[in-house]
Structure 1
Amino acid sequence: MVGWRELCTCQSSDLVCHILIKMDLNLKKEIAMAFKLNGFSLRKESCLFLMENFANYSADDRKNWINKIILHVQNQQLHQSIIEMSHIKLAIKESSNNGLEESETIFNVINAFQIPKFNYNIERKKFLRDEKNSLKVDLYPEARWRFQYLLDRYILILQRTARNKVFTPETLPGTKQEKGFSLRKVEHLLSCSSRINEVIVLGLLTQLTEGTYYLEDPTGAVALDLSLVRYQSGLFTEHCFVLAEGHYEDRILHVMGLVMPPAECRSISQVYYGNVNTFGGPSKTLLKNSENLSKIEKANEDAMILFLADVWLDDVKVLSRLKSLFSGYNGFPPAAIVFMGEFLSCPYGYEHGNQLKTAFKALADILSQYPQLLEACKFVFVPGSADPSSPNILPRPHLPEFITEDIRSKLGDRVIFTSNPCRIQYCTQEIVVLRHNLVTKMCRNSIHFPESGDIPDHLMKTLLGQCTLAPLSIGVQPVYWQHADALNLYPMPDLVVIADNFKPYTRSYQNCQFINPGSFPRTDFSFKVYMPASRTIEDSQIPNEDL
């Protein structure tokens, strides 16, 4: 491509040369400004390279290409804001790839210990990947992580809450400014000796002394008077973050209302991450934005993912119903069947591991009888709390390899043993799976049991408001401090599966669906079927063959 200097030397007219120089300066300004608005600055040779490549493009095409390149540059996770020529060439190469990229997987199961960690950058107002700690498996980290994971969750909830319309009211030109609320820090209250009315504070609900609740944030802790409080929707447990509204007097915050932090729809949250892959998996970019995978997803209207919990492989009735399930789906295989523990109906003591190994070997023999199902379906196994793997700490690693070696050697990559919780990516869909009796634990440790409403609704709003699957104190539900990000529900996924002994349910909030398939043997062998193309949930059941 001929540059503007060569064009200028080929013209005999000074006027034409002047026009070309002016056009060139406008193009340079357009390119530089686009990168500057995204926090980047271009090297001179990088800018000239883009000018030469896009000089003959129309204004709309040029704008689209520049935006594509900026997105790919953001995904390169640079350590500085200056863009070199190598960064630009790599971004153009990736932008030009119109086929299904190698990292664009149709189905992928993501282990909890493979989920990347992101930190919120206050200056840039966006999330940046923590390269030092991402994908680093360390179950016994430094002591600072005991508080760091709570601080990370506080910052995550704070930045989301601060931009909610309640605290940043929108006004139209020529209209009167609406009254907005402002978030206070605890240190602001502690520094005041007089009464403060209409206070709203975001903090951690905790008991620093027995019988007295405090609201704690990074700046301090203030005692709470909850005698006149009105609780809004949600299950308020110790160590959950809440918005406390009331007045401050005599070094006590007299709370009139406790509210869960407002949830945020995915379209808003994703802006603060860019196009980087926050969900996990091999892809550098977020597969939710993949046009190729979106086409495949819509084309496969009959694709299904089945969810079953408490699959007791030592129970004759369960095995009989599983045979019926495999036989029924053999002609029309689903994309995946997700089996969740516990995988044995009762503890066997020191023989528990051997019994489970024998049970998986028997399951492999059964599955071998259905070749069509084996060819097209993936079988995912998520351990329960009584399955042998580790102490009752989240996230739990996959089942030990000596237990699963027989079924893996027989069925190969058709079976996937993963952690609890885990994440499943199907085309552009993001699915979070947890096997945990969460309803009982949340209700038992709630400081106020809801007087009205539906428990699954309260649970769903609590988890989305807290941005985590385990908003409980570490004494009630231990977590691996450095891997608490594996429990995050931010940005919102498409589907959250919480396999609980509570009755089955299906709920939806802001385009995020929550389901509980219930206990397979305790609910007359019922399970849930998810249809990704239409994003619908179907309740299914295996009929009783004895009738």
Structure 2
Amino acid sequence: MRPHQTPSRRTAPLFRPPHTPASHNPIPSSSPAFGTPVHPPKPYAPKDATSTKQTILPILLPPPTLRPLAFRTFTKKHNLTLSSSALQALASFIGTHCGAGWREQGLAEKVLEEVAKSWKKLGGPVIVDGESAELQTILKNIEGAMSGGRIQQGKSLSRQNSFAFGDGLEKLAADAVGGGSPGSLEREDSQASFGLSALGMDEEEEELASDPRKWLKVISAFEQPRLFYNVAKKHFERANAPPSLLASASQKTQLFRHRYDMVYQRLLRNESFQVPSLTPARSSLLRSTSNMATIQQAYKLTAITNLLGRSGTSHLLLGLLTIAPTGNLAINDLTGSIALDLTHARPVPEDGAWFAPGMIVLVDGIYEEDSNPAAEVLGGGGGIGGTIGGKFVGFSVGGPPCERRETSLGISLSGKDGDVVASGGFGWIDFLGVGSERAVGSRMRRIEDRVLRLSETGQEDGDDEEANSNHGRERMIILGEVNLDQMRTLDALRKVFEHYSSESSDNVPMTVVLMGNFVQHAVMAGGGSGGSIEYKEYFDALASTLSDFPTLLQHSTFIFVPGDNDPWASALSAGAATAIPRKNLPELFTSRIKRAFASAAADAERATGRKPDAEVIWTSNPSRLSLFGPTQEIVLFRDDISARFRRNAITFRPVPQQTLEPDPDAPAGDIVMADGAAPAPSQTEATPGVDDTEAGQEAQNSNPAQGMDVDHAVEAAESHTPAPAGRPNELSDGVGVDTTTASNQVSLDTQTARKLVKTILDQGYLSPFPLSIRPVIWDFATALELYPLPTALVLADQDAPPFTVTYEGCHVMNPGKLVAPDRKGIARWIEYDARTRRGQVKEVSF
């Protein structure tokens, strides 16, 4: 048989050649016994050359080698600081995913740029921590978008919750768009650094809810982030240890140290405490009114331990007023303590603030050493942290100057198209867990303008009555001292609710705040309010009253803030001051009210086919309301703080009244105030609004921008811009006060309100008292901080008159008692307008 002849049928199957198709390669295997392929494999030709994935060989990149490039990217370009752990994490990541081409091909620079942008979008602190969960999340998502050592801009990432600027605001955004994903608000902040989102801002805002209540979040004192100021790093850090009601004793020391550090850093950043290069420093609280007063003169602080050996010299001290074990007054700072002699001291401003033990104050005076050596030894010898021998004779005592919210956050309103530009300050710090000012502030303000429809001409003074009548949804109703065990309280509540329920559902207030005490006497303490059974019956009666106003229950958020007489803390305090912050009311007493809201929602669903998001919130005391993220912060606090100030304040020797005398050296038109007290503005105009009485008090309430008469010496140390010569002097809140009229008088209630507001805001703390007078839970004391200053502060104090006062841009309101004690049949409350950010005292007869 020839080689290519078809085999015969008689050929044994063993010797028959295998059947191979014509398309196959006829070359047989060279070694079939060892499993090599019968035919050699075809060379691989990819269909798309772009789908080839380049292999990266990881290298070991030392952190010092990466440090110069990281410094240029993070520090010089983005004003961030890398910790050693963060540099180690970045070096390990770049060495693994970028390989040997990290420098020549510029791969590391692109990765560092994306990490820095993502960190700033998250609102992280200035110092990047390598152990933080945020950095790990950023690196994990970058790893998923990398191919061949490069970040693929068009690659889709699944990270709905990775770069959210805050759980609270993310939830608000999700609720606003109807649930599901966090919505367009997250897409901008999370994907902009990667270039993955090209959505327009106007298109995103169109999808957001127009109801301002969607952007309201209640933050309990026990949910607020616990931030502490780091003196070495000069920024805030989040507490690592979990909080406890039974904290260690070191937390008590840390509480006062943190308060001092907060005031000290605020003071050093004040322009009056920054020494100019061509002007000598001066350490007096009182400024001269000569021609040289126009030259900037800086104050200089002296540590207490540095007083040793400097007897007879004048100094300016910043410290905590305390009562020494000997019973005398003393002042402490972080270096030591010294006895304080305030026999000849004068408060600044005169009768403008309270000064009590537990407050941080500025004292100007002279140090006098003790000539008795034995007393020097008994006093502690002047060691650091001990008592300094001698005494400090104070001539003037004043509070630390307050700082505006814009200054603390570094906000400037000089951006393009009205945008808010943040630079410096603590704009990157997320104080409430809703996003920082630098991360989401500009966007949330644009949303606020769209939702509230602020007009460019009347957004601050609210003169546009037509606009105000068309927009009532942004109002907050604040009721104070709602004593449910008082007979006429429910009648007053019914009258107030009737006033607002008569409006349309789209125009009812978005929030109704009811603040305790909800009983006149401490529950279960042997008082006249009974026990827990009677207390529950009071709330059952309130639920019955609320059921008569389904419109409010369906479209308004009700917030309940407890007082000292409410359970369960009052059962142990027996009416005395309870430890703050205190938790919300127990659910045992709130079931009937929750049932009333559920019933109103069910009725609305049957009538309209859509279930309203009726909501009732039982929060702590104090607590905070966040409206539009970090744009508006409203603090709710219930405490009889004015009476506590009067009981514990230091009494100074009265200064005789002096007449105004012209200064021959002063420019024409200026008048020198010999007694240093600023005259008060005139208040003779009555309020034209409805339900307003007492023209003198309403004049204060009707002017939403009404300022406070602050002494010129303290005013010079505040954050404001001096007025031009020959014009009225500008106060810290921008209200003009004419210094040429000294005969204007204000009511006693107005003076008390201004005195109370200045004392609290200058301290930047809601409870500036010793722990023996006002107990504080150590681990949650940061919830009492007023830094940065909130947009508004509701200070419910039944011992102070109802008022609305603006000081350093912070609007402070006191609703007083719901049932007016001085007038029969009158109900009082505060109506706060989120659009104008001003409140007004309202009254109605019942």
Normalising by structure 2, we get a TM-score of: 0.54
5 Å-filtered alignment, 1:32-431, equals: 34-35=76-77, 37-40=79-82, 48=106, 69=118, 71-75=120-124, 78-80=128-130, 86=139, 89=142, 94=190, 96=192, 99=204, 106-133=215-242, 136=243, 138-170=244-276, 179-189=297-307, 192-195=308-311, 197-233=313-349, 234-250=353-369, 251-270=390-409, 271-280=424-433, 288-289=441-442, 290-291=444-445, 293-299=447-453, 301-302=471-472, 303-330=474-501, 331=503, 332-346=507-521, 349=524, 351-390=530-569, 391=573, 392-412=578-598, 414-427=615-628, 428-431=631-634
Shift in CA distance, 409/211, structure 1 to aligned 2, threshold 3 Å: same
Aligned length: 502
1:488 Cα deviation from its structure 2 partner: 0.9
| 8 A contact 1:128–1:273 mirrored in 2 | no
| 8 A contact 2:753–2:801 mirrored in 1 | no
Shift in CA distance, 50/363, structure 1 to aligned 2, threshold 3 Å: farther
Shift in CA distance, 508/449, structure 1 to aligned 2, threshold 3 Å: farther
The amino acid that maps onto 2:331 is L
Which residue of structure 2 aligns with residue 23 of structure 1?
none
The amino acid that maps onto 2:836 is S
1:442 Cα deviation from its structure 2 partner: 0.7
Whole-Å separation in 1 of the counterparts to 2:433 and 2:111: 34
The amino acid that maps onto 1:208 is A
Which residue of structure 1 aligns with residue 774 of structure 2?
477
The amino acid that maps onto 1:512 is C
1:275 Cα deviation from its structure 2 partner: 2.7
Which residue of structure 1 aligns with residue 838 of structure 2?
536
5 Å-filtered alignment, 1:383-532, equals: 383-390=562-569, 391=573, 392-412=578-598, 414-427=615-628, 428-448=631-651, 454-501=751-798, 502-523=800-821, 524-532=826-834
- Identity level (%): 27
The amino acid that maps onto 1:218 is L
* Deviation per residue, 1:317-348 (Å, 9 max, x gap): 22122222222212231111111112134567
Shift in CA distance, 38/337, structure 1 to aligned 2, threshold 3 Å: same
SS of residue paired to 2:485: coil
| 8 A contact 1:106–1:293 mirrored in 2 | no
Gaps of 5+ in 1: 1-5, 7-26, 55-61
1:221 Cα deviation from its structure 2 partner: 0.5
496-505 vs 113-122, which deviates more? 113-122
**Greater Rg over alpha carbons, structure:** 2
467-476 vs 403-412, which deviates more? 403-412
1:255 Cα deviation from its structure 2 partner: 1.2
The amino acid that maps onto 1:342 is N
Shift in CA distance, 495/297, structure 1 to aligned 2, threshold 3 Å: farther
* Deviation per residue, 1:362-417 (Å, 9 max, x gap): 22222223222112101111111111121411111111111112222332562111
Shift in CA distance, 354/530, structure 1 to aligned 2, threshold 3 Å: same
1:483 Cα deviation from its structure 2 partner: 1.2
1:141 Cα deviation from its structure 2 partner: 0.7
Which residue of structure 2 aligns with residue 10 of structure 1?
none
1:80 Cα deviation from its structure 2 partner: 3.1
SS of residue paired to 1:113: coil
Shift in CA distance, 228/457, structure 1 to aligned 2, threshold 3 Å: same
1:163 Cα deviation from its structure 2 partner: 1.8
Normalising by structure 1, we get a TM-score of: 0.82
Whole-Å separation in 1 of the counterparts to 2:549 and 2:332: 57
More strand by share: 1
The amino acid that maps onto 1:343 is F
| 8 A contact 1:335–1:378 mirrored in 2 | yes
Whole-Å separation in 2 of the counterparts to 1:51 and 1:194: 56
| 8 A contact 2:364–2:396 mirrored in 1 | yes
| 8 A contact 2:345–2:652 mirrored in 1 | no
Gaps of 5+ in 2: 1-49, 51-68, 143-161, 164-187, 280-293, 370-389, 410-423, 455-470, 599-613, 655-676, 678-708, 710-750
Shift in CA distance, 317/32, structure 1 to aligned 2, threshold 3 Å: closer
Whole-Å separation in 1 of the counterparts to 2:795 and 2:74: 48
| 8 A contact 2:583–2:619 mirrored in 1 | yes
The amino acid that maps onto 2:515 is M
The amino acid that maps onto 1:294 is E
The amino acid that maps onto 2:247 is P
354-363 vs 281-290, which deviates more? 281-290
Which residue of structure 2 aligns with residue 19 of structure 1?
none
1:121 Cα deviation from its structure 2 partner: 2.2
Shift in CA distance, 49/81, structure 1 to aligned 2, threshold 3 Å: farther
* Deviation per residue, 1:231-278 (Å, 9 max, x gap): 113210001111111121203212111110111111221244333320
273-282 vs 494-503, which deviates more? 273-282
SS of residue paired to 1:166: helix
| 8 A contact 1:379–1:416 mirrored in 2 | yes
Whole-Å separation in 1 of the counterparts to 2:476 and 2:71: 50
